[in-house]
Structure 1
Amino acid sequence: MNHTQITQQYLADLGLTNCPLDLEFLNQLQRKHIAKYSFNSISVLLNQPMPLDLPHLYNKLVAKQNGGYCFEHNKLVYIVLQHLGFKVKRLLAKVVYNRDIDVPRTHRATLITFEGADYLLDAGFGPQGAFYPLKLELDTPQQQENETFQISQKNQQEYHFQVLKNGEFFTLYTFDLNNYTESDCDLSHFYSHKHPEAAFVKNLVVSRKTLDTTYSLRNGQYHHITHKHTEITPITCEKQLHQLLNQQFNLNLDIAVSTYLFSKFAKPEN
């Protein structure tokens, strides 16, 4: 399949064919993407090959519905939007979770310039990500459904992507507007799925986010989050994990894979 065919099939899978290529299109693309395709570290934990060429990304994320992490989700979206004629720019971010720490750039996102304004589009940040692209308007809270996000700037080069938590803005990641190449992204991708201290190498992480519900699994706990309530369920057996992965996260895993993941990452300690 060529770029045009992959773009058409991807948009058809999201129900976005024959739509005007406007800001609402971008909003719906991000919203529908994070609701349909799971964010997960399963390929990392299974030590599977993770090439970032477009045919592989389409086959894994769209055709097989296997999900993936930021370097896969956001590269697919980047290529599709570029093919549609949008002005896009690669971003590499540092995930800091409100800490003043020095960490590598292990997150990929996209900056879109549309009708003279810049937007942060991120279809690969898991349960804490935004529903829609965020306008690059500094220190301006942007309400998205039942959550509030903003972008702040701590110095001339560093931007902070923040979410409102308990009345205060919490920095999820920082980024700059430097020009990054695919080779830069490949290096960060390699670290993120191969370095022994990388978060995705050590943790089973799976999520899917709809307007009503966030489904989030981390190792031995499953979180079912609505705007009114968060229910936390411990994972106690491989059958339970298998049902969650296949039913709540739209995956199609063999029981042998779920059994392995449970034994290595979710099994309660004695």
Structure 2
Amino acid sequence: MKIHEYLNRLSVPAEKNPDLKYLTQLQQSHMESIPFENLDVTRKVPIELDVDSFYEKIMVRNRGGFCYELNGLFQLLLSELGFQAHLISCTVKKPDGWVREDSHAAILVSIGHFPYLVDVGFGDSVRQPMPLSGEEKSDVSGSYRIKEIGKGIFNLERMENENWKTLYRFSDKPKQLHDFAEACLFNQTSPESHFTHGDLATIATKNGRVTLAGHIVTKSVNGQKEKLELNENEIREYLQEQFQIKI
């Protein structure tokens, strides 16, 4: 992996000190520079759990990816920059239950003796490292906290309608990329996977987010949303214009 090319795409300079301020800058810039997208899944292009493939897709071809690709590559970058970082597995909460267990990949980063959840592969979510201490953090996407529910088991929560809503549950146990092989295949092929039901591309902006889901574009600016419907030709143009993705 060419670190300087990666940092150039993030518009972040190389730093010698792997501290919390630098980690925050890297995460925010990543979410504003590289989209979360499932366009290979819906076009039945196989996604292999290989960081060289991730790098070629995301850096060389200027694409995005889903959690294994984005967090898999970002975890490697963080490690090469001197951070103590490892992958972890998460189980996403749905309104009526949970998705496949341990099928989402995120990152745990230790700064000194303090662990932080970092996730650049979950779409509309927190844009800064989240301490596992329970301290609340807020950004343009909302207010968040992490609640410990058992030894080494935590919930990432977001405030919605004056109540804390669980986004996903995770363990602090280190995982390797290959541990997600079955989940990666499931998310690419199963009709039960959210990712097989239509195109999705989403990217953070300084004051909101832009999301293409199917034929619908949703633009969020300072909490205000507007929607736009596109036809097939307009979708291709929009992907290239808004996300710099050429299909």
Q: Same fold (TM over 0.5)?
A: yes
Structure 1 contact 111–119 (Cα < 8 Å) conserved: yes
Question: Could you tell me which of 32, 57, 60 is aligned with 2:57?
Answer: 60
Structure 1 contact 97–170 (Cα < 8 Å) conserved: no
Question: Could you tell me which of 145, 153, 163 is aligned with 1:150?
Answer: 145
Q: Partners in 2 of 1:183 and 1:136 — Cα distance?
A: 25
Q: Partners in 1 of 2:219 and 2:99 — Cα distance?
A: 32
Question: Could you tell me which of 45, 50, 62 is aligned with 1:48?
Answer: 45
The structure having more radius of gyration, on CA atoms, is 1
The one-letter code sitting in structure 1 at the alignment partner of 2:9 is D
Q: Structure 1 residues 141-150 or 66-75, which shifts more?
A: 141-150
Structure 1 contact 61–67 (Cα < 8 Å) conserved: yes
Kindly indicate which of the two structures has a greater share of residues assigned to strand: 2
Runs of 4+ in 1 over 6 A off after TM superposition: none
Q: Compute the displacement of 1:108 (Å).
A: 0.5
Residue 71 of structure 1 aligns to a residue whose secondary structure is helix
Report the aligned-residue RMSD. Answer: 1.8
Task: Give the number of equivalent residue pairs.
Answer: 246
Residue 154 of structure 1 aligns to a residue whose secondary structure is strand
Residue 7 of structure 2 aligns to a residue whose secondary structure is helix
Residue 203 of structure 2 aligns to a residue whose secondary structure is strand
Unmatched 5+ residue regions in structure 1? Answer: 254-270
| TM-score in terms of structure 2 length | 0.92
Q: Partners in 1 of 2:42 and 2:14 — Cα distance?
A: 38
Aligned-residue sequence identity (percent) comes to 23
User: Where does residue 22 of structure 1 map in the other structure?
Assistant: 19
| TM-score in terms of structure 1 length | 0.84
User: Where does residue 141 of structure 1 map in the other structure?
Assistant: 136
Residue 171 of structure 1 aligns to a residue whose secondary structure is strand
Q: Compute the displacement of 1:125 (Å).
A: 0.6
Structure 2 contact 203–209 (Cα < 8 Å) conserved: yes
Q: Partners in 2 of 1:216 and 1:122 — Cα distance?
A: 18
Please tell me whether residue 161 in structure 1 is matched to residue 156 in structure 2.
yes
Unmatched 5+ residue regions in structure 2? Answer: none
Q: Partners in 1 of 2:14 and 2:172 — Cα distance?
A: 32
Alignment of 1:12-161 (within 5 A): 12-19=8-15, 20-97=17-94, 99-101=96-98, 103-126=100-123, 128-138=124-134, 140-145=135-140, 147-161=142-156
